[in-house]
Amino acid sequence: MRKWVFAFILVILLSYGISQLNVKSAGEDKVNIENGSLPTEDSQVITVGKEQVHQGDLLLVNNDHALHPEGIRSDIVSLSDRQDLVQGFGLLDPAIQLSESVAKDFGEMVKGAKQDGVEHFLINSGYRDAAKQDQLYRDMGHDYALPAYHSEHNLGLSLDIGSTEAKMDDAEEGKWLKKHAWEYGFILRYPKGKEEITGIQYEPWHFRYVGKAHSAIMYHEDLTLEQYLDKLKMAKAMSIKTGGIQYTVAYYPMVGSSATVQVPKGQQYDISGNNYDGVIVTSYV
């Protein structure tokens, strides 16, 4: 009899565990996150050099990890020169710069918000070069700014988003982004309650582009970039289905001056470093 009770409890616990894998759904689009890597018959092995550790969308740049110059996006543009990219939102300063591809994804996000009647967005800050960051650090001090090469703004992947209506924490724009930014590849980088992990106070305005597979996992599992990169390193590989696309995300350590990684045969993939000890391959399968 006891055995049956034990088995019953085990079944309950297992089904609870499985249900936790099928986390929140986004509209009709269910998000499924599982551990799992690419099947070997559909993939090939390639070697990447150690410079790749410091390049890509997933670089961790914070007080402990400085940005390497090769991590700065090569597609930085001045937004006021590119009116095609500035549709449906304002710029606090005409000198604001950003990665062109991030600006395009931001534009898509603004369009999505407009469909929900949220349309008073403003970009307050984007890419900052080292000299500008250094000046900000001197002006604002250690509590409010990071030294040059330690701010994500130096990458070109982060932006401070405002609302013309209210403070971001109260504004509809801030509320909408908190709920939907992940659908466009962005994360709220310094959330409330995670200050000890990020080392930065809650910033309802600071969003970072990481890519859709990663933003979906971080949002649904409530992970900061620090926590996500740690988790991926432990899990080695995860798969996620979101926006109708199946992604496999896998971590590979750098051994000496190279890493041997598995990529899909004849399918699209991205490689990004974590900026400290390895690379992450994102496959679209």
Residues that bind Zn ion (CB under 5 A): 160, 206
The answer to whether 285 and 247 are in contact (CB under 8 A) is yes
Nearest Cα to 212, choosing from 178, 237, 247, 176?
247
The answer to whether 272 and 59 are in contact (CB under 8 A) is yes
Phi then psi for 40, rounded to 5 degrees? -65, -30
Q: How far is the CB of 151 from Zn ion (least distance, A)?
A: 7
Q: Toward Zn ion, which CB reaches closer, 48 or 60?
A: 60
Cβ neighbours around 67 below 10 Å, total: 23
Q: Toward Zn ion, which CB reaches closer, 126 or 278?
A: 126
Q: Toward Zn ion, which CB reaches closer, 172 or 203?
A: 203
Per the annotation, the verdict on 100 as an active-site residue is no
Query: Using CA atoms, how far apart are residues 131 and 186, in angstroms rounded to an integer?
Result: 26
Q: How far is the CB of 87 from Zn ion (least distance, A)?
A: 22
Q: How far is the CB of 19 from Zn ion (least distance, A)?
A: 36
Active-site residue, from 172, 203, 221, 226: 203
Burial 137-162 (b: 16+ CB within 10 A, else e): beeeeeeebbbbbbbbbbbbbbbbbb
Burial 211-229 (b: 16+ CB within 10 A, else e): bbbbbbbbbbeebbbbebb
Q: How far is the CB of 154 from Zn ion (least distance, A)?
A: 11
Q: How far is the CB of 147 from Zn ion (least distance, A)?
A: 14
Q: Toward Zn ion, which CB reaches closer, 106 or 247?
A: 106
User: 261: which strand partners?
Assistant: 46
Q: Toward Zn ion, which CB reaches closer, 160 or 183?
A: 160
Residue nearest to Zn ion (CB): 206
Q: Toward Zn ion, which CB reaches closer, 114 or 132?
A: 132
Q: How far is the CB of 73 from Zn ion (least distance, A)?
A: 16
Catalytic residues, which ones? 203
